[in-house]
Chain A
Amino acid sequence: MQDVREALYVGSRSDGTLIRRPMSPHLQVYKMRLSMFLSISNRITGVAATAGSALGVAWLASLASGPKSFATARKVTGNPLGQVVLAGWILSLVWHTVGGLRHFIWDAGHRYDKQELNEDGPVAVGVIAGFGLTLAAALLCVSGVRASRRAKAKGI
């Protein structure tokens, strides 16, 4: 037996033979609610933020390797597809941070009643969308404007 929970599945027929009892339905019998969505999305954005951070480390490594590899990295971050990935990284970091802050509040023993949870969910979505999209847009715009200005200054 690999999983301790398997022990709970052992049952017996009326003739005494052992059987594996069926699993009761769980996910499929519930209507998807915002709290469920925010719970699983906190994990998904955590994984996405890790993947983005690994790309961030690749950026650092290219910087440490020299000007040639950094130029390649800048080509990637300047590419529209790269910008989408960057925006996705920023958004998932903000998302995971907001989820984490809610966990801190719950760990401190606050806002954990059903009504409070349902009140806070839409607020969290608003903060994520507002702050995340603003931050992503602002960072990408500042970087883009600065990069094009420097390219122009060098051209002249």
Chain B
Amino acid sequence: MDASVSPRHEVMRSQLGRARGLGSGHSGTAHWIAERVSAATLLPLSGWFVVQMFRLGGADYEDVTKWGGKPVNATMLAALVISSFYHAEVGLQVIVDDYVHGKAHLPTKLLVRFGTWLVGLLGVIAVLKLALGKSSSRS
């Protein structure tokens, strides 16, 4: 907020008139719930991933692709990636809402949403390739 900006040009409008229409879009509660639900989903999925990493840490390419090719592992991985980046999208959006003001707000918010969505999609595609594609090591 720039201290030098004078509100003089809006002299005919009351403070209530200024505030009207700029407030709640009636979607705050849904956003808040989405944050909590995705967090709750992440708890068991992350627990599973930690256990898998203990089993898999230090393993070589053949073992890891074999692990990723199993349908249950691929399902859990895809679920983990989707809920992680959904939770990140929802959470980072709130941070942008709180700290980025003015003209930069909308582009930053769109960029954050697009970025998290894109990285999440990359994760899902990678999991799908491991699960469905014949691994490229054999070709």
Question: A31-39, A63-71, A110-118: which one contacts chain B?
Answer: A63-71
Please give 16 more A-B residue pairs, beta carbons under 8 A apart, in addition to A4-B22, A18-B8: A7-B18, A10-B18, A17-B8, A19-B6, A23-B1, A46-B92, A53-B88, A57-B122, A61-B122, A61-B126, A65-B136, A66-B137, A67-B136, A104-B39, A140-B57, A146-B57
Residues of chain B within 8 A (CB-CB) of A17 are 8
Chain A, range 42-99, C-beta contacts under 8 Å to B: 43, 46-47, 49-50, 53-54, 56-57, 60-61, 63-67, 70-71, 93, 97
Most chain B CB atoms below 10 A, which of A56, A63, A93 = A63
Q: Is the pair A1, B130 in contact by a Cβ cutoff of 8 Å?
A: no
Q: Is the pair B102, A2 in contact by a Cβ cutoff of 8 Å?
A: yes
Q: Is the pair B95, A63 in contact by a Cβ cutoff of 8 Å?
A: no
Q: Is the pair A63, B126 in contact by a Cβ cutoff of 8 Å?
A: yes
Size of the chain B interface, CB-CB below 8 angstroms? 54
Size of the chain A interface, CB-CB below 8 angstroms? 53
Interface of B is mostly: helix
Q: Is the pair A18, B11 in contact by a Cβ cutoff of 8 Å?
A: yes
Instruction: Judge whether B36 is part of the interface by a CB distance below 8 angstroms.
Output: yes
Partner of A104, one of B36, B46, B102: B36
Q: Is the pair B8, A43 in contact by a Cβ cutoff of 8 Å?
A: no
Question: A-side interface residues toward B, CB under 8 Å?
Answer: 1-10, 17-20, 22-23, 43, 46-47, 49-50, 53-54, 56-57, 60-61, 63-67, 70-71, 93, 97, 100, 103-104, 107, 135, 138-140, 142-150
Partner of A4, one of B23, B92, B102: B23
Chain B 105-131 against A: per-residue CB contact (8 Å), 1 yes, 0 no?
A: 100000000001001101101110110
Q: A2-B102, A50-B88, A135-B50 are in contact. Are A150 and B60 (CB under 8 A)?
A: yes
Q: Is the pair A107, B18 in contact by a Cβ cutoff of 8 Å?
A: no
Chain B, residue nearest A67 (CB): B61
Chain B 31-61 against A: per-residue CB contact (8 Å), 1 yes, 0 no?
A: 0000010011001001000100110011111
Chain B 56-76 against A: per-residue CB contact (8 Å), 1 yes, 0 no?
A: 011111001100100000000
Q: A60-B127, A104-B36 are in contact. Are A20 and B3 (CB under 8 A)?
A: yes
